[in-house]
Structure 1
Amino acid sequence: MSETYLEPAAWFATLPSAFISASMLLTDADDRVLLVKPNYRPGWNFPGGIAEENETPHDCAAREIAEELGLSVEPGDLLVVHWSPPLGERPRPLVNFLFDGGVVADPSRIRVQAEELDEVAFLPWEEGIALLPSSTSARLRTARLARADGHPHYLAGGSDETAE
């Protein structure tokens, strides 16, 4: 056996890691985008959140939609995988999976989780893009493209560049 061999546990401990989050793109009958304004940080975002230990991204997205909005929505197609570098106090990269949540047929069924959210709004796409932080706004533009062309897009950093 080589002197450089590491036992699997030791080897895995040397690998880089990232935080995983998942969210959903939800729209209404007028093709407006649903965004949420968390009360624990500034700005607007997609409904969603950080995956729990051993939770799959699509299960995370469904759980977060149920918790934040009181809706039972099965994640549809994967629209965007967005890799973001460490930012501010976040020491590791973040990988976000954005799923298509479809159309909310009856917005009156939304039950806002007041412990985490100050506001929920259906907004025109361009208004939503303008409200999102720069690190997230490209995700909304890219999600619109992915919905239109029917396949997921990869987004790196906060840019508009996508790769398929």
Structure 2
Amino acid sequence: MNPERAGWLEPAEWYASLPSFLASATAVITDPQSRVLLVKPNYREHWNLPGGVLQGDEPPNLACAREVREELGVEPVLGALLVVDWVAPTDIRRAWFGFVFDAGTVVSPDDIALQNDELDGFEFVEPAEAYSRLTRNTADRLRSALGAKATGRTVNLVNGTVVSASA
């Protein structure tokens, strides 16, 4: 070690000392009537947006595309990053980053081949109906994502609440 850096941690040790986070990436997919695609996981009571948890070496956009392929059997064409949401840690999990991407429009539900191992169903629903089927946090993300699609600007959330750039 360089004597001028006495007390400094070596890079591997320093990186190991940093906090770790969980992350997920989901997709907003609509139909030609602007209804939102929701999926019904068989391991949860609530509905969700298509997507899932990032693997340790996977960027959010690739995780989103992989999860949509796995869950719906379609090859998504991801557009803009619509939302980044930081969710505070709880007693049972670390802090969480939720990324939401625009995945365009599915013209026909017949294009979807649902993965039955994890999902019981899917449905295109009006946004107001979607909000009522999702957890509060996911509903907040969807609401912000639809706003982001309209404005063309990514939305930054903390615990589902919009954060201004000056905060």
TM-score range, shorter chain: over 0.9
* Alignment RMSD (CA, Å): 1.3
1:2 to partner: Cα distance: 4.0
* 1:14 equivalenced with 2:14 (yes/no): no
Partner of 1:76: 79
SS of the aligned residue for 1:163 comes to coil
Match of 2:14, as an amino acid?
A: W
Tell me, in whole angstroms, the C-alpha distance in 1 between the residues paired with 2:163 and 2:150. Answer: 14
The TM-score normalised by the length of structure 1 is 0.93
SS of match in other structure, 2:9: coil
Residue identity in the other structure for 1:16: P
Match of 1:139 in 2: 141
2:8 aligned with 1:5: yes
- 1:153 matched to 2:137? The reply is no
Q: Percent same amino acid at aligned positions?
A: 43
Is the partner of 1:43 in helix, strand or coil? coil
Please, which runs of 5 or more residues in structure 1 have no aligned partner? none
The counterpart of 2:41, out of the listed 33, 38, 41, is 38
Q: Is the 8 A contact 1:83 1:93 kept in 2?
A: yes
Which digits, 9 at most, give the CA deviation of each residue in 1:87-135, with x for residues without a partner?
Answer: 463x211111111001101221101101000121101001101111012
Bigger CA radius of gyration: 2
Distance 2:36 2:130 in 1: 7
2:101 equivalent to 1:99:
yes
TM-score by length of 2: 0.92
Out of 23, 28, 36, the residue aligned to residue 25 of structure 1 is 28
State the match for 2:68 in structure 1: 65
- CA distance in structure 1 between the partners assigned to 2:146 and 2:90 by the alignment: 25
For structure 2, which runs of at least 5 residues remain unmatched after alignment? none
Q: Is the 8 A contact 2:32 2:106 kept in 1?
A: yes
User: Residue 158 of structure 1: CA displacement?
Assistant: 3.0
Quote the residue 1:122 is aligned against: 124
Contact 2:83 2:154 in 1 (8 A): yes
Aligned pair in 2 of structure 1 residues 107, 60: CA closer, same or farther (>3 Å)? same
1:4 shift after superposition: 2.4
Matched residue count: 162
The runs of 4+ residues in structure 1 deviating greater than 6 Å are none
Distance in 2 between the 1:105 and 1:55 partners? 29
